[in-house]
Amino acid sequence: MQSTEMETMLAYVETFFRQSGAHDLDHVLRVTRLCEEIGKAEGADMRVLIPAALFHDIARPIEEETGIPHEEEGARIAEDYLRKAGYDAERIAKIVHAIHTHRFSTGPEPETLEARILSDADKLDAMGAVGIARTFMQAGEHGGGIGDAVSHIHEKLLKLRRLMYTDAAVEIAKRRHALLERFIDSLEDETGSGRTPMV
Residue type, 50: I
Minimal CA–CA distance to 154: which of 190, 175, 184, 121?
184
pLDDT category, 21, cuts 50, 70, 90?
low
Global model pTM greater than 0.85: yes
The tens digit of pLDDT for each residue in 67-113 reads 899 999 999 999 999 999 999 999 999 999 999 999 887 778 999 99
Q: Region 16-22: what's the mean pLDDT? A: 74
DSSP 3-state assignment of 67? coil
The tens digit of pLDDT for each residue in 141-175 reads 889 999 999 999 999 999 999 999 999 999 999 99
> What is the distance between the alpha carbons of residues 130 and 153, in angstroms, rounded to a whole number?
12
Cβ neighbours for 75, distance < 8 A, ≥ 6 positions apart: 55, 96, 97, 99, 100
pLDDT at 198 over 70: no
Q: Which domains does the chain have, with CATH numbers?
A: 3-191 (1.10.3210.10)
The pLDDT, as a whole number, for residue 199 is: 44
The pLDDT, as a whole number, for residue 98 is: 98
> What is the distance between the alpha carbons of residues 28 and 146, in angstroms, rounded to a whole number?
25
The pLDDT, as a whole number, for residue 1 is: 54
The tens digit of pLDDT for each residue in 34-46 reads 999 999 999 999 9
The pLDDT, as a whole number, for residue 105 is: 78
pLDDT at 4 over 50: yes
pLDDT at 17 over 90: no
Q: What percent of the chain has pLDDT over 90?
A: 76
Mean pLDDT taken over the chain: 91
Cβ neighbours for 122, distance < 8 A, ≥ 6 positions apart: 31, 56, 102, 103, 104
